[in-house]
Structures are given as C-alpha cells and as structure tokens.
Amino acid sequence: MSGFVSFVSAGPGDPELLTMKGATRLREADVVLYDDLASGAILDLARSGANLVAVGKRAGRLSAKQHHVSRLLVDYAAAGVRVVRLKSGDAGIFGRLEEEIEALRAAGIGYEIISGVTSASVAAAQAGIPLTRRLTSRRVQFVTGADVTGELPADLNWAALADPEATTVVYMGRRTFPALAARLIAHGLAPDTPALLAESLGHADERLLRTTIAALAEQLTHAGAATAAAVILFGALAPERG
C-alpha cells in the first residue's frame, strides 16, 4: 500500500506561526523530511520515534540535491508510511515544490499541500507595517533574487519591479541586491525608495533594518558572506511605527 505525503509549510521559524493543521500532520508522521530553515523547535512537535531526515538546501553550503530529495519522498511513501515534507515559509513560494509534486505524481503517490505564513508577511508584521496601502500601494509582487545558478535572473520584469506604487518582496536576494538595485534605479526607481531588510525572522537573532534601496545596496556590497536567511521589501512601504 502506498503512503501519503503532506507538504507542511513551517513559516519562517517561530513554532507559534505553524498552522494547527500542519502541527497535526507533524504529530502523525512516520517520516519528516525537513529544510534547514524549518528545523529547531518546530521538530519538537514530531512524534517520538519519527524518522527525522535533514534535506535542506542553503546557498554556499553542501546541500541535498533536488533529485535526491524527490527520490526520498517517493521511496518513503512507496513503503506505505506517512511522510511530512517540512518546508520553510509557505511551501508554494520559491520552495521547489513543483519538482517534488511532479515526482509524486509520476509515482502515483497522493499528497496534500498545507499552506503557511510566508516571510514577506512576517517581515511586514514585525516591522509594524502593512504589505499594502490603500492609496499608494495596491499591488504586492514577489520575486526571486537568484536563478538556478545563484545569480540575478536576467529575465525579470524591470518595469514592474521599478513601479514606485507597488510593494516588492525579494526572496533569496541578499547577495544579488546591489545589482538588482542598480538595474531598478536605471529603470527610474528613486534611490531613496524605502527598503526593509529582515533577517532571521522568527528566531532569537531576528534583525530588521529600515533604509533605502541605494543605502541597502551599498551596505550589502561591502557585507561579508551571509549567515542568516533574509528577505528584502522595497517600494511604497508605510512609515515606521511611532
């Protein structure tokens, strides 16, 4: 008998942001395949005796290959067990979910997707601001700052990203943001456009930096290798809370 896979979205790291449905699936699972950013205290919710398997991928570090992760999902589920694939943030946002679903479909294995809180929402909430503004930011757009090679994607919609009346969220873009900011400014976005860098969301070392796109690009140009996960927001952000 084939097993079943639950894709559980863990949020950015704070266990209290995990949905009740996600917590239930963790307690029921026989095997949990988890990302680096979805580990820590959240794994304490897994039942005693569950097999916990680290399959995280982090830039600049030795990581599990995607085809290996997909193969593990198929093999465990084919053995008839309940599998949780624990992904950070929301599994459907830049989480390589499509590749893993395709592998399960090809093997005839059932699955479900349990949505979660993405880091964009948490970053705005922690900064005390909304992602949208009724008069000045009626659109939110999510973009990846790195392609499959780790470089800034060449086919981004620069006109949309340089729209001063949108809120833009950049995932996996800390290293490439200086190049991204230069292209945005070249396409007409003001250098003093507000920006927010949010690091280690949901963790004890969480850090929020309110700045501008030009100042942030300058800072990240001279920063060392990244050791913390980060998301960057820019555009028509609400003023800092008083």
**Burial category of 200 from C-beta neighbours within 10 Å (exposed 0-12, middle 13-18, buried 19 and up):** middle
Q: Is 205 a catalytic residue?
A: no
* Torsion angle, alpha carbons of 179, 180, 183, 187, to 10: -160
Rg, the chain, Cα only:
19
| Cα–Cα distance for residue pair 197/66, rounded to 1 Å | 28
The tokens 């590749």 sit on which residue? 99
Tell me which of 35, 87, 90, 163 is the catalytic residue. 35
Residue type, 43: L
Q: Is 21 a catalytic residue?
A: no
Contact in structure between 3 and 23 (CB atoms under 8 Å): no
Tell me which of 21, 30, 36, 57 is the catalytic residue. 57
Structure tokens at 23: 């917590």
| Cα–Cα distance for residue pair 24/193, rounded to 1 Å | 42
Residue type, 154: A
Q: Is the dihedral of CA 74, 35, 131, 219 positive or negative?
A: negative
Question: From the centroid of its chain, how far is CA 204?
Answer: 18
Give the β-pairing of 31-34 and 82-87: parallel
Mind telling me the catalytic residues? 35, 57
